[in-house]
């Protein structure tokens, strides 16, 4: 899959690396701002108590 993605991107290798970094940053931003807050409603926190010695 990574080889196919590398061949699809245009330009020299430094341009491809730059595009991949921007793509990775966009995916991480989408996860942090939209996906994780949405999924937080479905995760039930467990009640954990920690005993102090």
- Map out the domains of the chain as residue ranges: 11-38
7-46 pLDDT tens trace: 888 999 999 999 999 999 999 999 999 999 998 888 877 7
Spatial distance between the Cα atoms of 25 and 34, rounded to a whole number of angstroms: 14
Report residue 52's pLDDT band, with 50, 70 and 90 as the boundaries. Answer: low
Report residue 6's pLDDT band, with 50, 70 and 90 as the boundaries. Answer: confident
Report the predicted TM-score, pTM, of the whole model to 2 decimal places: 0.68
Spatial distance between the Cα atoms of 19 and 27, rounded to a whole number of angstroms: 12
């Amino acid at each position: 899959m990574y080889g196919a993605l590398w061949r699809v991107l245009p330009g020299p290798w430094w341009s491809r690396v730059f595009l991949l970094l921007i793509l990775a940053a966009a995916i991480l931003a989408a996860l942090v701002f939209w996906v994780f807050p949405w999924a937080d409603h479905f995760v039930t926190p467990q009640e954990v108590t920690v005993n102090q010695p």
